[in-house]
Every structure is written in structure tokens, then in C-alpha cells.
Structure 1
Amino acid sequence: MAFNQTPTIVVLKEGTDSSQGKGQIIANINACLAIQDTLKPTLGPYGSDILLVASNGKTTVSNDGATILKLLDIVHPAAQMLVDISRSQDAEVGDGTTSVAILAGELLKEAKSFIEDGVSPHLIAKGYRLASELCIEKIEELAVDTNKGDQEMLEKCATTAMSSKLISQNSAFFTKMAVDAVRSLDPDDLDESRIGIKKVPGGALEESMFVNGVAFKKTFSYAGFEQQPKQIKDPKILALNVELELKAERDNAEVRVHRVGDYQAIVDAEWEIILRKLDSIAASGANIVLSKLPIGDLATQYFADRNIFCAGRVSAADMDRVLQAVGGQLQSTCSDIRPSELGTCALFEEVQIGSERYNLFTDCPRARTCTLILRGGAEQVIAEVERSLHDAIMIVKRAVAHHEVVAGGGAIEMELSKYLREYAKTIAGKQQLIIAAFAKALEVIPRQLCENAGLDAIELLNKLRSAHAKGETWYGVDFQSENVGDNMKSFVWEPALVKINAIASATEAATLLLSVDETIKSESQGRGQGAN
């Protein structure tokens, strides 16, 4: 008696791991919750820092969500989504990187019970998307429009951004620095890459400097450099991409000569070429010469004899910022240099900062750039100061471009939560439960802020719910009184754009993860690939 047996068909390579269904979605959610648990203690003004040690032994101390996730080296393909949304938040608005990852994790946590009860992931995703749209509309409706050029408003936003950082104790000092840095940029462009940041170990945090212009570390210099001027008023600055150095013939060419005089003629010709270049530079009237390429000992001494300052091997980024500040054009030849191709500034000086010497070009006529010179005891401290300032600068930049703000400290999240709960009561079916779950997830921000500050989260959340039910729109956690209060009046301000971007990104990541119900992992590559 014959049986028709269907042969086993092998589609995937041997060793490939494949898992699917409800269990796979829950496994992905659990991976994201593990990441959320790591980030939760870092949220808010009383959030703790995390010490990360890389495989090469380099240590990083930070509470910046994007930095922590980048250094964690996460291999789980689903958890990698949280890294990506945190990075996109960092690139788009600069702050709120921890909030967005925590909110995405909480949305998945709320969805987990629905998945276990057999609700379709697509229904949950649909409800989340609707709730996200309602939240964004509500934020746009509630946002308070402030004066675009108001210095005080910008400083309040920067202070809020810095409140959770290492430099919160020095926030008054660094807030002004962040606002001045953004104000120095072209208001139509606001390209933060034009804000140079230099780090000099040693000294106190408040010894950090704001330079309205360009500063860069003294470049490698030859004998004769000390005879050059170290301070020039209204200098004429020439920027070159020309090498002003004699080359040793034995390294660069093979020359066959029959008489000693022939060899001498070759050496003389080379000297004549470089001296002709130097004479052209001196004749141009420039008294500062900067070059991307080396300036040798002969040229250094030549310039010193003529009271001209020079610096060779200037990095491309520093050279670009110098040209943006002082004007002029980069020259690839030393012949026919016109006066219009030279830049200028009010003052050039070389100063000692800590153990380093820096060249400063200040009060530039075209200054659309600035430099922040950061000081601090340890490299890790200065690196965290840089990350904190980056967040504050990005927040100020967004506040200048989109001058609408909302109250921070969990106030806007509680108001949105109240609004969604009220909306959920007007609809029937499963969507009502899903939108109510989104409303509950939003409360994770004020709850975590309370827990990190050592406050009673349950008591304060009840007070906040009660206040918002009575129409106190801007009530949030007040850390000064360890109670609740009106954060709009307390100047705990955040640009509305930060919250809009955070809610949109967190919802997008959560719905994407809920739509993945199968993971196929290749043994050879060791990387996961989700298939819907």
C-alpha cells in the first residue's frame, strides 16, 4: 500500500533561525523594555549618569539617551529600532532622546497585554496612530507663541534642556553661552556646524570661553616662529592651499648630473621658486598667512623677518570657519593675489589657555561663526559638557526657528493624557481601550521624573490628574517645592517641536515593531531581518 508523502522542502540555508507569531512580537517587546529599563534612571533633572566602558577601555560618563544607546552596541534587531529613533530625535531636534526611547518602550509595554489577549497588532497600530495625530494637533493648539527674538525665552528653553545634565549647577553660565552661540549664526541658515567646539583639559567649568569668531590650537611650528607677532590689530589674512617647504631631493626625485655646478643649479632653482612664492605673499600686504599644507622652516623665518604671522597644517574645518568669519578666498597659487582675496578681523592674538596655545580671530566683520573653548577637570567631564551644550544649542536653534513653547516637567504629557482619556469615552469598541492605553503610556514621563527625584510618584500623579481635570493645563512636577505647580509660570519651557517629534517618532517605532511577527536570522551573518 503506497502513501503519498510530501517531501520536505528546504528554502532557507541550514543553521538559519526562524521564529514567528505572537511569541515573536512579545519577544521583540521584551527586548525593547530591557533597553527602556536601562534609560529610565537617566531621565530628568535628577536623572543619574551611566558609566560606559568600551572594549578598548575608553570610558564615557553620560545621561544623553542617544549617546548611551550608540555606545551600548545593541545586537537585537528589534531593540535596534529604539537606537534609530533616538538618533533621529538627536539629529532633528537635538534633545528629548531619552524621552522618545522611554515613551516608545511604554507604548509597547501597554500593547503587550493586548497582544497576549489576542488583539490584532494592526488594530493596536491603528489606534496608536490615531492617538498620535490627536496629540500632535492638541500640542499645536496649546503651544504658546513667544517673541522670536526674545533673549529671555531662549535662555529659559536652554536652561530646561540643561536641567538634566552634568552642567545644571552652572546652567546660568552655559545658558548664555548656548544662546550667544546660536545668535552668532546666520539667522536664515542657523547651521550649527559653524559653532566650533574646542576642548582644553584642566581648569574649572566656568573658565570655558565664548569666542565671537574663530579659535584653533597653535599648529606645528619651526624655529623662527617665536619671533613672529602674537597680536595684530585689523590684520590682513591670506588663506592658502600651498606648500611652502623645501623638499629633500633624494626623497622625491632622481637627478643625474655630470658636474657639481649642475647639482647646485637644481638646488638654486628650488630656492628661487620658494622665495618667489614668499615674495609674492609679502607683496600682497598680508600679515597673517594660513595654509592647509605645511609651512617649512625657511618660510617661517622669512615671515618672522617681515613681521608676518604664519600657521601651516590648519585643518580643513578650521580653515573653512576662518574664511566664513574673516572673508577672503582660499588661494591655490601665490601669484596675482588681489586685496579683495584677503580677509580681516578686528583683532588677532595668540593666547595661552591651560597647557595649550590658541590662535584667536575675534570681532570679525562677517562673523557668522563662533567657537566655544570648554574647560574641565577630566576628559569625560568635558565630553559630557560638549554633549550637554549640543542639546542646549539645538533647542535654542529650534526655538528661534519655531518660537512656540510648551511647559516641561511632565505638564504637556499629563494634559495630552487627560485629552485622550476624554476622547476615548466618545468612541466604542477596542479602539477605546487602545487610545486609553496610549494615554496611560504618556504618564510614564512624569512618573519617571518623580521616581528619579525620589518623590512619591503615585501621590504626585494623582495631584496632577486632579489639577488637569480642573483645567490647570500647565501643571507639572515642580522639583523646587517637591510638589506640583504651574511650569509655564516657573519658566520650565520646551519647544513644542521637541514634543511633537518625540511623540511621532515613538509611535512610529512602536507601530513598526508591532507589525513585525517573524524574524529570520542568518547564521553566517549573525544579523536579524524582520519580515512582516
Structure 2
Amino acid sequence: MNFGNQTPTIVVLKEGTDASQGKGQIISNINACLAIQETLKPTLGPLGSDILLVNSNGRTTISNDGATILRLLDVVHPAAKTLVDISRAQDAEVGDGTTSVTILAGEIMKEAKPFLEEGISSHIIMKGYRKAVSLAIAKIKELAVDISGDNNNRDLLERCARTAMSSKLISNNADFFVKMCVDAVLSLDQNELDDKLIGIKKIPGGAMEDSIFVNGVAFQKTFSYAGFEQQPKKIEHPKILTLNVELELKAEKDNAEVRVEHVDDYQAVVDAEWQIIIDKLKQIEDSGANIVLSKLPIGDLATQYFADRNIFCAGRVPSEDMNRVILAVGGSVQSTTSDIKPEHLGTCDLFEEVQIGSERYNLFEGCHEAKTCTLLLRGGAEQVIAEVERSLHDAIMIVKRAVQNRLIVAGGGAIEMEVSKYLRDYSKTVPGKQQLIINAFAKALEVIPRQLCENAGLDAIDILNRLRMAHSKDEKWYGVDFETENIGDNFSKFVWEPALVKINALSSATEATNLILSVDETIRNQESQPANAGMMPPQGGRGRGIPMR
């Protein structure tokens, strides 16, 4: 037999490598993303349910925040991880809409599946989606209402915060928390709006409405030595010194070995060490400071010394709290006590130590250097307080975006229905396959109002038909109204969201979809397993063998 014309088989990839490609691979990736979408769907909207997640350590988390759920799900499918990434990006960029962006991305992929199965090239679908999303974003910008001319600024921000809270655990306490969120954002420097200057502390116990807004910095009382209770607990216009110095006597054996011949020599060493710390304390006293904070320990000798002189001190202050104190009260961290000048000290209107629940907190209020605030959250269980914190984070970010970007749209599925109607009308003017693809994108947008209805137990088909009818009559702000279980003008009912949330969600969802559609081959390298536990893996392998001794 003649084998001369046959091409020999060439092995390029390592044995065990899984390589799958083609149309089936794209559809497989889409199905993985749809599984993620199905998990998040029930959490959307004011009447969405929460998800209880338990990690490998048995720690439980109860949440309906999309980014939090996806972070804890531990997704391993490489394609589905893109949904986790866009959800995180939405959380970092806008702060809210993390569930919406994932559901939208899943639905846009779902609409692409029939085209792929019919043999349409994924590049044609991607081109249609890019055109559709650019039209959709342009339409949202055209519809958005600019509220910068309205004088009642606070009222508008409260309405945006209330909409952000409507789907959260704290929706029943919205009146209380809306005020807290808006106070927090308005307390910041309006040019920078650095949300990292809003501190959040969680204190178990009490009701949610026992939460406290502190116009300044607050941190939990640090570990304290004898003499602490004799220190002042309330000081008006204090002078605050921040240190990175240890004010503690150390036993000689910890620091050095000293050889002595006489008892007097030993006593001289001890006296010298005492003199060093007494000199430091005297220099601090002479600086005029009546509050001393240090990142390092302040021992019992120093604590008693300060108590005798009516000075408050706290050692081992966490770096995060210390940095916010410095930003708020001014001054600078000193790593030595020998040259403390008046400009190194900070000040505020009032320092106070208060009991909150079972904890004691140090409060610095009325800070003038940097505008900052702290939210002390209360609640019956740790999981509840953690969810309150996540809910407030979303609302604070929404208020921040509303201050920066003054364009708003109506929520409750109104903007999605209006953009969907616009894209349907536009698709009729486009010939060929693009007409079908843009129409499919328009249909995908309806997933938001449909899911809102399903989660609320309403008849989704009936409500969607009414919404389509209303929008065809140019009722552009009509969306799902949960109070009447019907449709209504959500703009006049103040169900508002920043336009940025919708624009970012649409562009992120479409980018993620196009990314999945552009991948038609997956190559997965298997870890090579050594034949025997005591042998090294073959050269180039990635196994974790143990070399024989």
C-alpha cells in the first residue's frame, strides 16, 4: 500500500486538552450566561425576592444586590464570568443597576440564539446590536430630563434615592434612610464627591431606625488601659494630635541584653527607660494637645499620665479611621514627639465618647478641613445590617451620580418600553437581516418590565400589552405601577433614575453579548496528573507532583 500522499496527524496540543469550536460553542456559552440570568431574575424590582447564600465556611449572606450575589456565586464557566465582570463594573461606575445589566445581557444573548441556529454569521448579529445600542443610547439622552434648573435640589435627590431603595430591604424605612443618604452626599465636597469619605460602621442590636448620622468621623473605642475612665469624655474645640509613636514601657528582655555588675547599674537602665517615655509624654503635653490618637499602642503609664492632665488618648486606631480623622480635622501624623508645632494639630467643633448599643464610639463632629460623615448602622442581625449597608451604598451612589449628572429618566420599565418602541419603528426602515436583529434587540429590552411584573405576581402579558398600547400613543413615561397593579406615568409619580444608570447598563450588556458572540472556540488545558504520587510530572506539565527524596 502507498501512504505517500496521506498527511500525517500532527499533535499540537497536549493530550487531554479540551478544544470545542463553532456555532455549537457560541450557543453553549450563551446557555451558561442564561443560567446566571435565571438565578438573578427573581431579585429584580421593588417586589423582588432575596437570595440566601452560604459559603464554604458556613457564613451566610442575604442579599438582592446583583453584584454581591455574583461575587459570592463563585462562577467557574469562563464565558459566564463576563456577566460577573459587567455587574462589578456597573457597581463601581454607577453603584446601582447591577441586576438589570445582567438580566439585559442575558436577554440580548437569548434573542441572538435563533439567528445563530439558522446559520446567520455572528458578525452580522454583532453589527446589528452595535447599531441598535448606539440608537438606544442616543434616544435615552434625547428623552432624559435635565433637573439642574430646579431650585429644590434636595427634594429631587431624595426622589432618586427613594427609587434606588424601592427594591431593597430598607424600602419600608425609606423615609428615614433617604434623608440619611442625601445628608451623606451633600455633606461631601461638592466638587470632588469622594464617597470614600463616607464611613459606615455596623453595630448589632436595636432597630434599623436607631441608625445614626454623624456629621464627622466616628470610630469604635480602641483597647484601653487603666486610667482610661478618668479621661474627659467630651471636649469642645479640642486640639487633636495624631501620632505613629508607641507610648509604652517595654521590658528590657524584649529590646536588648544588658550586662550589669551592680544593682545600681540595673536601676540606671530602668530609670533611663522611664525617663525616655516621660520626656515623650511631657513633649506631647507641652504641645497643647488635649486629644492624642496613635496608630501604635499607648500603654497604661501613658494613659494614666494623660488622665491626670485631662487629656484624652486612644492607641491602636485602625489606619482607615486614622486617615479619615486626619482628612477631617487637619494636622498631620507625627512619627516623633520632639518637634510638634501648632500647625501639626487638628481641630473640630466637638469631641464626644458615646455609648451606642453595647459599644462605645468616639465621635468627632463639626470638622472643617475635609467634609466627611459617618453612618452608624443598627439592626437585629449581622446579615440584616450587612444588607442595609449594601442598600445604602447603592442609594448613595445614585444620589452622587444625580448630583454630578443632572439627567434623569422614569424607572419602572418606562424608559425600556419607550426605547423598545423607538427601535421597532426604526427597524422597519432598514432592509435585510439588520431589520430582524434590531427588532430582536428591541424585544430584549422588554425583559425589564416583564420581569418586574412576574416578580410582583402581576399578569406580565396583559401589562406589557397595555404598555405597548400606551407608548404607541406617545405616553413615553408609562411604566409598571406597583401601587395600582396597573400601568401609570412613573415620571409624575417621581419614580426617577439617573440616565447614566440606563446608558451604562445598555452599553455594558451589549459589549458583553458581542464578546460572547465573537468567541467561537474554547481551548481548556487540563492539569496533567503524575502517574505516581511520588514522581515528578513530565517536563512542561502543570501537575503538582512531589519529588522523591
Task: State TM-score, norm by structure 2.
Answer: 0.95
Q: Does 2:506 align with 1:514?
A: no
* Farther off after superposition, 105-114 or 318-327: 318-327
User: Any conservation in 2 of the 1:184–1:367 contact (CA below 8 Å)?
Assistant: no
Q: Equivalences for 1:158-177 in 2 at 5 Å? A: 158-177=161-180
Aligned partners of 1:129, 1:179: CA distance in 2, in Å?
Answer: 37
Name the amino acid aligned to 1:3: F
From 404, 410, 417, give the equivalent of 1:414.
Answer: 417
Deviation at 1:265?
Answer: 1.4
Give 1:246's match in structure 2, choosing from 244, 249, 252: 249
- Structure 1 residue 336: Cα displacement: 2.0
CA distance, structure 1, for counterparts of residue 406 and residue 249 of structure 2 = 56
Query: Counterpart of 1:461 in 2: which secondary structure?
Result: helix
- 2:399 aligns with 396
Deviation at 1:524, TM superposition (A): 1.2
Aligned partner of residue 330 in structure 1, secondary structure: coil
Contact 1:201 1:378 in 2 (8 A): yes
Q: CA deviation at 1:367?
A: 4.3
1:363 is paired with a residue of what secondary structure?
strand
Tell me the equivalent position of 1:129: 130
Report the CA distance between 1:151 and its aligned residue: 0.3
- TM-superposed deviation, 1:452: 0.3
Contact 1:51-1:62 at 8 Å conserved across structures: yes
Aligned to 2:536: none
Residue 280 of structure 2 is aligned to residue 277 of structure 1: yes
CA contact (8 A) 1:284 1:339 kept: yes
Alpha-carbon offset, residue 438 of structure 1:
0.2
Task: Provide the rounded CA distance (Å) in 1 between the counterparts of 2:254 and 2:336.
Answer: 24
Give per-residue Cα distances to partners, 1:68-110, cap 9 Å, x unaligned. Answer: 0000000000000000000000000000000000000000000
User: Is contact 1:450-1:456 (8 Å) kept?
Assistant: yes
* 1:423 aligned residue (423, 426, 443): 426
Q: How does 1:318-333 map to 2 (within 5 A)?
A: 318-333=321-336
Following superposition, the deviation at residue 365 of structure 1 comes to 2.1
Whichever residue aligns with residue 35 of structure 2, its letter is A
Aligned to 1:477: 480
What's the CA shift string for 1:168-190, capped at 9, x where partnerless?
A: 00011111111111111111111
| Structure 2: gaps of 5 or more residues | 530-549
Match of 1:307 among 299, 305, 310: 310
The CA distance in 2 between the partners of 1:272 and 1:3, in whole Å, is 96
Counterpart mapping for 1:90-489 below 5 A: 90-147=91-148, 150-489=153-492
- Please list the CA deviations of residues 464-506 of structure 1 after superposition, one character each: whole Å capped at 9, or x if unmatched: 1111110111100011111101111000000000000000000
Task: Tell me the SS of whatever aligns to 2:392.
Answer: helix
Is the counterpart of residue 71 in structure 1 residue 56 in structure 2?
no
Within 2, Cα distance between the matches of 1:249 and 1:524? Answer: 54
For 1:154 and 1:490, the matched residues in 2 are separated by 14
Query: In 2 relative to 1, CA 366–525 (structure 1 residues): closer, same or farther, beyond 3 Å?
Result: farther
In 1, the alpha carbon distance for the partners of 2:144 and 2:415 equals 10
Instruction: Using the TM superposition, give the Cα deviation of residue 525 of structure 1 relative to its aligned residue in structure 2, in angstroms.
Output: 8.7
Quote the Cα distance in structure 2 between the aligned partners of 1:88 and 1:346: 39
Q: 2:3 aligns to what?
A: 3
Give the corresponding residue for 2:542: none
Partner of 2:31: 30
Provide the secondary structure at the position in 2 that maps to 1:523: coil
Counterpart position of 1:19: 20
Equivalent residue, structure 1, for 2:545: none
CA separation in 1, counterparts of 2:266 and 2:117?
A: 88
In the TM superposition, what is the alpha-carbon distance from 1:6 to its structure 2 partner? 2.1
AA in 2 matched with 1:475: Y
SS in 1 for 2:367: coil
| Distance in 1 of aligned mates of 2:209 and 2:399 | 20
Give the Cα separation in 2 of the matches to 1:46 and 1:115: 35
Structure 2 residue aligned with 1:530: none
Q: Which amino acid aligns with 2:247?
A: L
Map Cα deviations across residues 491-527 of structure 1 (whole Å, 9 max, x no partner). 000000000000000000000000000001111199x
Q: What is the one-letter code of the residue matched to 2:54?
A: V
1:499 has 2:502 as partner:
yes
3-state SS in 2 of match to 1:310: strand
Contact (CA 8 Å) 1:212, 1:367: kept in 2 or not?
no
What are the superposed Cα offsets for residues 227-248 of structure 1, whole Å, 9 maximum, x if unpaired? 1011111111111111111111
Query: Deviations for 1:125-147, whole angstroms, at most 9, x for unmatched residues?
Result: 11001101001111111110003
Shift of 1:258: 2.0
**Could you tell me whether the CA contact under 8 Å between 1:215 and 1:359 is conserved in 2?**
yes
- Residue 213 of structure 2 aligns to a residue whose secondary structure is strand
**One-letter code aligned to 2:411:** G
Change (3 A) 1:79 1:370: same
Cα distance in 1 for partners of 2:343, 2:254 equals 38
Contact kept, 8 Å, 1:166 with 1:388, in 2: the verdict is: yes
Q: CA deviation at 1:266?
A: 1.4
Aligned-residue offset at 1:161: 0.5
Q: Provide Cα deviations, 1:36-78, integer angstroms capped at 9, x if missing partner.
A: 0000000000000000000100000000000000000000000
**The residue matched to 2:305 in structure 1 has which SS?**
helix
Q: Once the 2 structures are TM-superposed, how far is the Cα of residue 341 of structure 1 from its aligned partner?
A: 1.5
CA distance, structure 2, for counterparts of residue 525 and residue 295 of structure 1: 55
Give the secondary structure class of the aligned counterpart of 1:247: coil
Contact kept? 1:328, 1:343, Cα under 8 Å: yes
Find the counterpart in structure 2 of residue 529 from structure 1. Answer: none
Q: Could you say what secondary structure the match of 1:331 adopts?
A: coil
CA distance in 2, matches of 1:300, 1:59: 40
Dislocated runs of 4+, deviation >4 Å: none
Amino acid at match of 2:273: E
Conservation of the 8 A alpha-carbon contact between 1:32 and 1:105 = yes
Q: CA RMSD in A?
A: 1.1
TM-score by length of 1: 0.98
Q: How far did 1:253 drift?
A: 1.3
- Give, in angstroms, the shift of residue 374 of structure 1: 0.3
